[in-house]
């Protein structure tokens, strides 16, 4: 018996010992060997992480008008479990179909959605129609939900919202090809949104904290906070108002001419800041999926290359003038010219007889430019100037998808054709703008840019884009001479091919272009690209505009009759808006629009939005004074004739609350009138137009402004930040040499 007890005791002791050994081993394994794993697992149970979403940077125009911004968005969600419990399926399907436009069959499958175990889901999002909707639509859904709750006497109708953010473009289609868009998933797709995504998107922050089993934050527990870095704000060089003028003029022309596409670029030739850029057809970045055709998203301004036609003759002319080879009074026989391998004809195949080279420029004679480029300059120098003006290489503009074009002349006939913009020569619109700007600004080829500044909202640091000169292509004196010849192309109302671009009161320089398209290796005279490029005022250029129209429906139209009027519409309104005074006498023609000056409309009592909209449509420059939403008074008064460049001032607050406006470019009369309306004392020094102003306040609290004025010819007008045989030209009948115009 004793022995048995001893054996049992020994057995129990051994088992107990083994148990404790196993337990200690297990504890050692967990706490020492696998300590890191279990520590991490435990932290997951009590540690919570909250992501703080970064706000995408805002994109504005040069004057602060918002073009792209993040705004709150709301995704509609339904609770199938609750909806089926209360029997609301039919009502919710019908109601959401009516508000969101989502098919009833798809809504029915959502409100009846079940898990694998056969139970209803507690939440399902209504995509795509209910995904990231705006506040107005959300309010409609909320009102519908409230109606359901009241009619069924329930606290919850099974409709809720997920708070999100989305990208919003308040100007709708405006500048769509510049901005690009961010898709519904939040990914940038095209334009600046994609090109500058790294700067715009910012970096999300996060907050880590400890919580109890119920998920409630533990007081005084350690926290780890990584601050959010919001995206950089980007300020563009484009001007919303000029962009508006561009797109309005383009739409009218596009509807009338029915081309494949249109492209317009406006730039300040002195800095190569892009003031406006647009293409048609276009799209709305807010509803990009509705304009799904690929051609709607192409920014032809930088990513399409074509034979330029006669607008390219500016390069040939500039090279000949720079080399001292252009004598405007020298004569030649027009009509046709023979080069090795090809006979080249003028627009008028029989020619105009023996004419001067200046007349040849005004008539856009192919023969004149073959003589200037191929014979006088010679192939080597012609190609050298083509490359100096930036063709065959990217301009470096800060936009995605830029092409470098083609400069590939090999034979004599190629060089002869290149002298008037055809043959082995393909250019992009932005290259043409940069090249002609070099003529306008005194011979400097500059790098175009569309980003004016980038600001880090987290630090306030701003990086500005400074104008960049690539090279001096021609001398300032020769550039001015070339401009004088191009001015005659527009000013000569009898034979100048650019006469339809003439703007009364302003000196305009420009050149038309009509290039027949190549189809299957042959020129097809029923398909052509027509264009006009020019700048104004010639003596002090403020704006340069290129208009390109690809294949207007009427193949009889050329650059002079199709593109030049679009240029005129844009530039005339832009110069007025920019405050550039007219420098040439007004030519009054009976029965024409020029015979009567614009008059100040009646705006007092109107909302500010309606007043500014009316002025923009009429092409009248304006300045808003005060921060009110309604026009209290205006200057000039209703019915007052407006001189070129004169502004309408809209006062929206009591004068003593308003800041003194920038009056540079205004006449003394207008400046005094505005300041008097505001109760501000005025002193003036000089005569002409305001070039500077200095504000001060006396001991009695009365504000005063001293104005400095200079005569018009020395006034740096431009009030905003822009400071710092002709009819036959339209129809082409070349034989194998490519047409021109």
Q: Which residues are catalytic?
A: 310
In the 3-class helix/strand/coil scheme, how is 125-154 assigned residue by residue? ECCCCCCCECHHHHHHHHHHHHHHHHHHCC
Residues 6+ away with beta carbon under 8 Å from 584: 504, 505, 506, 507
Q: Any idea which residue has 């009646």 for tokens? A: 602
Task: Please report which helix (H) or strand (E) contains residue 535, including its range.
Answer: strand 522-536
Find out whether 524 and 516 touch, Cβ atoms under 8 Å: yes
- CB distance 479 to 439 below 8 Å: yes
- Dihedral of CA atoms 499, 505, 510, 516 in degrees, nearest 10, equals -40
435, 444 Cβ separation under 8 angstroms: no
Q: 117 Cβ partners below 8 Å, 6+ apart?
A: none
Instruction: Report the distance separating Cα 130 and Cα 141, nearest Å.
Output: 10
**First-to-last CA distance in the chain?**
128
Of 314, 278, 261, 260, give the one whose Cα is nearest residue 177.
278
**Phi, psi values for residue 70, rounded to 5°:** -85, 135
Q: Tell me if 710 sits within 8 A of 686, measured CB to CB.
A: yes
- Residue-wise burial string across 718-732, b where 16 or more C-beta atoms lie within 10 A, e elsewhere: bbbebbebbebbbbb
Beta bridge partners of 514: 530
Report strand pairing: 233-236 vs 59-60: parallel
Residue closest to 707 by CA, chosen among 718, 698, 696: 696
Cis peptide before 537 (omega within 30 of 0): yes
Which residue reads 């004057």 in tokens?
A: 63
Q: What residue spans of 366-475 are helical by DSSP H? A: 366-370, 379-388, 412-418, 429-440
Taking residue 460's Cβ as centre, other Cβ atoms within 10 Å add up to 7
| 587/580 Cα distance (integer angstroms) | 18
Task: Provide the 3-class DSSP secondary structure of residue 206.
Answer: strand
Q: Which two tokens stand for residue 725?
A: 């045989």
| Alpha carbon distance 12, 371 (integer Å) | 118
Partner residues linked to 693 by β-bridges: 707
């Amino acid at each position: 018996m004793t022995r048995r007890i001893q054996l049992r005791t020994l057995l129990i002791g051994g088992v107990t010992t083994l148990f404790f050994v196993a337990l200690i081993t297990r504890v050692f394994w967990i706490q020492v060997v696998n300590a890191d794993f279990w520590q991490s697992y435990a932290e997951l149970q009590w540690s919570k992480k909250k992501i703080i979403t970064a706000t995408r940077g805002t994109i504005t125009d040069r004057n602060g008008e918002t073009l792209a911004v993040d705004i709150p968005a709301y995704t509609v969600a339904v609770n199938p479990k609750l909806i089926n419990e209360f029997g609301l399926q039919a009502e919710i399907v019908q109601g959401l179909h009516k508000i969101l436009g989502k098919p009833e069959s798809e809504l029915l499958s959502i409100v009846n959605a079940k898990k694998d175990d056969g139970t209803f889901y507690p939440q399902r999002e209504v995509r795509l129609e209910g995904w990231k909707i705006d506040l107005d639509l959300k309010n409609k859904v909320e009102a519908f939900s409230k109606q359901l709750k009241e009619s069924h006497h329930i606290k919850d109708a099974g409709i809720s919202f997920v708070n999100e953010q989305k990208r919003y473009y308040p100007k709708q289609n405006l500048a769509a090809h510049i901005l690009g868009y961010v898709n519904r998933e939040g990914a940038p797709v095209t334009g600046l949104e994609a090109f500058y995504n790294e700067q715009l998107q910012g970096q999300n922050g996060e907050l880590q904290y400890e919580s109890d089993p119920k998920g409630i934050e533990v007081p005084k527990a350690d926290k780890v906070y990584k601050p959010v870095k919001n995206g950089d704000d980007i300020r563009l060089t484009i001007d919303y108002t000029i962009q508006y003028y561009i797109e309005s003029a383009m739409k009218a022309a596009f509807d009338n001419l029915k081309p494949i596409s249109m492209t317009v670029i406006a730039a300040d030739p002195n800095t190569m800041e892009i003031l406006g850029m647009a293409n048609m057809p276009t799209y709305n970045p807010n509803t990009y999926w509705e304009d799904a055709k690929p051609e709607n998203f192409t920014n032809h301004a930088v990513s399409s290359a074509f034979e330029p036609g006669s607008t390219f003759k500016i390069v040939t002319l500039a090279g000949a003038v720079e080399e001292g080879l252009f004598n405007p009074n020298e004569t030649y026989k027009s009509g046709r010219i023979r080069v090795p391998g090809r006979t080249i004809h003028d627009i008028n195949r029989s020619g105009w007889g023996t004419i001067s080279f200046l007349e040849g420029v005004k008539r856009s004679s192919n023969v004149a430019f073959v003589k200037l480029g191929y014979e006088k300059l010679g192939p080597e120098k012609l190609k050298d100037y083509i490359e100096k003006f930036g063709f065959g290489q990217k301009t470096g503009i800060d936009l995605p998808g830029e092409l470098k074009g083609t400069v590939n002349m090999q034979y004599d006939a190629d060089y002869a054709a290149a002298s008037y913009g055809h043959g082995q020569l393909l250019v992009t619109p932005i290259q043409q703008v940069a090249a002609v700007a070099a003529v306008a600004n005194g011979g400097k080829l500059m790098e175009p840019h569309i980003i004016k500044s980038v600001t880090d909202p987290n630090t306030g640091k701003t990086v500005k884009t400074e104008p960049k000169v690539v090279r001096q292509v021609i001398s300032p004196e020769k550039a001015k001479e070339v401009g004088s010849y191009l001015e005659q192309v527009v000013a000569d109302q009898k034979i100048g091919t650019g006469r339809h671009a003439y703007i009364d009161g302003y000196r305009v320089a420009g050149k038309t272009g009509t290039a027949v398209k190549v189809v299957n290796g042959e020129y097809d005279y029923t398909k052509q690209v027509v264009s006009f490029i020019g700048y104004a005022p010639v003596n002090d250029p403020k704006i340069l505009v290129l208009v390109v129209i690809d294949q207007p429906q009427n193949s009889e139209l050329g650059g002079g009759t199709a593109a030049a009027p679009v240029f005129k519409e844009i530039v005339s309104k832009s110069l007025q808006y920019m405050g550039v005074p007219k420098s040439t006498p007004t030519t009054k023609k009976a029965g024409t629009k020029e015979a009567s000056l614009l008059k100040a409309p009646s705006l007092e009592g109107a909302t500010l939005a309606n007043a500014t909209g009316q002025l923009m449509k009429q092409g009248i420059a304006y300045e808003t004074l005060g921060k009110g939403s309604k026009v209290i008074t205006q200057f000039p008064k209703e019915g007052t004739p407006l001189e070129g460049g004169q502004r309408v001032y809209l006062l929206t607050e009591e004068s003593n609350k308003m800041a003194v406006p920038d009056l540079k470019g205004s006449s003394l009369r207008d400046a005094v009138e505005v300041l008097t309306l505001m109760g501000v004392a005025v002193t003036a020094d000089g005569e002409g137009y305001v070039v500077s102003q200095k504000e001060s306040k006396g001991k009695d609290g009365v504000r005063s402004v001293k104005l400095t004025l200079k005569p018009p010819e020395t006034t740096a007008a431009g009030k905003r930040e822009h400071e710092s045989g002709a009819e036959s030209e339209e129809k082409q009948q070349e034989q194998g040499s490519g047409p021109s115009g």
